[in-house]
Chains A and B, each alone.
Chain A
Amino acid sequence: MMSPAELRPFLDELERFADGQMTSAEQADFEERMQREPALREAHEAYEQLAADLRWVAGHESLRHRLLALDRRLDQRHTALVRIKRRQRRAQTRWGTIFTVAVLLLLGLWFLLRPAGPRGGRAWENYYVADPGLPQSATLDEHRPLLAQAMEQYREGHYPAALHALRRVPTDNLGPDTLLYYNGIFLLSQGDGSAARPYLRRVIQQPGSALASKARYHLAVAYWAAKQWPEARAAFREVASDSSNEYRQAAQRVLQADVLRDED
Chain B
Amino acid sequence: MNQPLAEALTHLRMGNQTFLINFYQDQRDHFARWARRQHQLEPAAAHELLRGVLVDFYDQVIDGRLTKLPADVRNYLYGMAQEHIQAEKTTAELPRVEAGRRQQLLRVFGQLGTDCQQVLMYFYFRGYNFEKVAGKMGFANATVARIQKTSCLRKLLELRIRATGEGAAGGQASAATI
The interface of chain A, by Cβ under 8 A from chain B, is 1-5, 7-8, 11, 15, 19, 21, 46, 49-51, 53-64, 66-68, 70-71, 74
Contacts and interface: CB of A to CB of B under 8 A. Distances in A.
Interface string B113-128: 0000100110011100
Given A62-B125, A63-B54, A70-B25, A3 B106 contact: no
Contacts of B157: 4, 7-8, 11, 50
15 contacts: A1-B178, A4-B157, A7-B178, A11-B153, A11-B154, A15-B153, A54-B109, A56-B59, A58-B125, A61-B106, A63-B54, A63-B55, A70-B24, A70-B25, A74-B25
Contact of A8 (B20, B55, B161): B161
A49 B125 contact: no
B164 interface: yes
Interface in B25-84: 25, 28, 47, 51, 54-55, 58-59, 62-63
Contacts, number: 102
Nearest to A55: B124
Contacts of B62: 56, 59-60
A7 B161 CA distance: 10
B17 A66 contact: yes
For B124, B126, B157, the residue with the greatest tally of chain A CB atoms inside 10 Å of its CB is: B124
A5 B164 contact: yes
Given A70-B24, A74-B25, A51 B124 contact: yes
A62 to B, nearest CB: 5
A2 B21 CA distance: 37
Contacts of A51: 124
B120 A58 contact: yes
B102 interface: yes
The 7 closest A-B pairs by CB, nearest first: A58-B125, A1-B177, A58-B121, A67-B51, A58-B124, A4-B161, A55-B124
A54 B120 contact: yes
For B17, B55, B178, the residue with the greatest tally of chain A CB atoms inside 10 Å of its CB is: B178
Interface of A is mostly: helix
A54 B47 CA distance: 26
B105 interface: yes
B51 A64 contact: yes
A222 B109 CA distance: 108
A68 B160 CA distance: 26
B21 to A, nearest CB: 6
B146 interface: yes
Contacts of A50: 105, 157, 178
Contact of B164 (A3, A11, A68): A3
Contacts of B58: 59-60, 63
B121 A4 contact: no
Interface string B166-178: 0000000000111
A11 to B, nearest CB: 7
Contacts of B120: 54, 58
B150 interface: yes
A61 B54 contact: no
A3 B178 contact: yes
Contact of B161 (A5, A58, A67): A5
Contacts of B146: 19, 21
B102 A63 contact: no
A49 B121 contact: no
Contacts of B28: 71, 74
A57 B161 contact: no
Contacts of A1: 177-178
Nearest to B18: A66
Nearest to B61: A59
Contacts of A57: 102, 105-106, 109
B150 to A, nearest CB: 6
Contacts of B51: 64, 67-68, 71
Given A1-B178, A55-B124, A58-B125, A63 B20 contact: yes
A206 to B, nearest CB: 96
